[in-house]
Amino acid sequence: MARSVLYLPASNARAIEKARTLPCDAVVLDLEDAVAPEAKVEARAAAVEAIRAGGFGPRVGVRINGLDTEWGGDDLDALAQTNVGFVVAPKVNDAGDSLGVLESLPGTTRLWAMIETPKGLLHMMDIAAMPRVEALMLGVNDLAAALGTGPSPDREPFKPWMASMVATARAYGLLAIDGVFNRFTDAEGFAAECAQGRLYGFDGKSLIHPSQIDGANAAFSPSEDEVAKARAVVAAFAAPEADGKGAIRVDGQMVERLHLVAAQRLLARLDPRA
């Protein structure tokens, strides 16, 4: 589960220590945008040390610098000597970019591919089909700049790509992670964007501040009503009278086997570390 994916600078030792106690589902130690060029080497060493030290409650990964930069290759070489669970690769344009990252990592390490370029949008299916890719992540800031989109409170320019990302993730059994909300002091706006992401089918949201964790966890968790309905569907299909039937009546509505599958999937999400 990845309801809340918190980015923090790998160069910030205090933030890393605090992250070990936070209730987010995943922590990403950032070597890219959150770290100044002159601090890249120090941040890389700090990320490796943090991974080796462990102690994180949530899953932990590292966002590397692009392989087209002077730091990306060294980032991968350093992480190859650790047991990091996943690596976030920025600006993945195609399957070749994914392969370049994966070839340098241990076989147990998964790739979370950031889709934040026009080429990445057009090659999402090829990226998703690569082995060991575990998640597609929407990179809204770089994507907005690359597309030249204007500001929109409801992310109107991104809606086709949001739907496409979720559909691609579902087709290949991957996580779909919504992009960051930059105005971290705007609780109302953040809640609205989380609700929109949930509506589109995203599994969770990238976060830039710990204050966003609780809101994301709540927004991307099943509600009590959803859980109750799902349990009712599962129980109804488990009853002897439902044996062999493709559709049955539950609480005055006809439900089919596809609804059973959806109910089982929802109930499986109740474990936040699953």
Regarding whether 238 and 215 lie in a shared domain, the answer is: no
Domain assignment present for residue 274? The answer is no
DSSP string computed for 78-140: HHTTS--SEEEESS--SHHHHHHHHTTS-TT-EEEEEE-SHHHHHTHHHHHTSTTEEEEEE-H
Per-residue model confidence as pLDDT tens digits over 92-135: 999 999 999 999 998 899 999 999 999 999 999 999 999 999 99
| Nearest Cα to Cα of residue 134 among 26, 8, 53, 209 | 26
Q: What is the mean pLDDT of residues 167-192?
A: 96
Percentage of the residues of the chain whose pLDDT score is greater than 90 = 76
- pLDDT attached to residue 271: 61
Which CATH number is 121's domain given?
3.20.20.60
Name the residue among 240, 246, 218, 265 with its Cα closest to residue 3: 218
DSSP 148: T
3-class SS of residue 178: strand
Quick: pLDDT tens for 242-258: 888 888 888 888 888 88
Query: Do residues 183 and 201 both lie within one domain?
Result: yes
Tell whether 181 is covered by a domain.
yes
Residue 254 covered by a domain: yes
pLDDT of residue 228: 87
What sign has the CA pseudo-torsion 82, 85, 87, 93? positive
Note whether 110 and 241 are same-domain residues: no
Q: Are 210 and 244 in a shared domain?
A: no
Residue 273 lies in a domain: no
* Model confidence band, residue 239 (pLDDT cutoffs 50, 70, 90): confident
Domain boundary among 202, 219, 236: 219
On whether the CB atoms of residues 76 and 64 are closer than 8 A, the answer is: yes
Among the residues of the chain, which ranges form H helices? 13-19, 40-53, 72-79, 95-102, 118-122, 124-128, 140-147, 159-172, 187-200, 213-219, 224-238, 257-268
Mean pLDDT of 217-225: 89
In a domain, 141, yes or no: yes
Q: Residues 138-150: pLDDT tens digits?
A: 999 999 999 999 8
Answer yes or no: is pLDDT of 273 > 50: no
Q: 172 and 119 share a domain? A: yes
Q: Give the pLDDT of residue 274.
A: 42
- Domain that includes residue 105, residue range: 4-219
Which is nearest to 208 in space by CA: 5, 7, 21, 2?
7
Q: Do residue 193 and residue 249 come from a single domain?
A: no
Indicate whether 40 pLDDT > 80.
yes
* 6-30 residue pLDDT tens: 999 999 999 999 999 999 999 999 9
Predicted confidence at residue 268, as pLDDT, reads 79
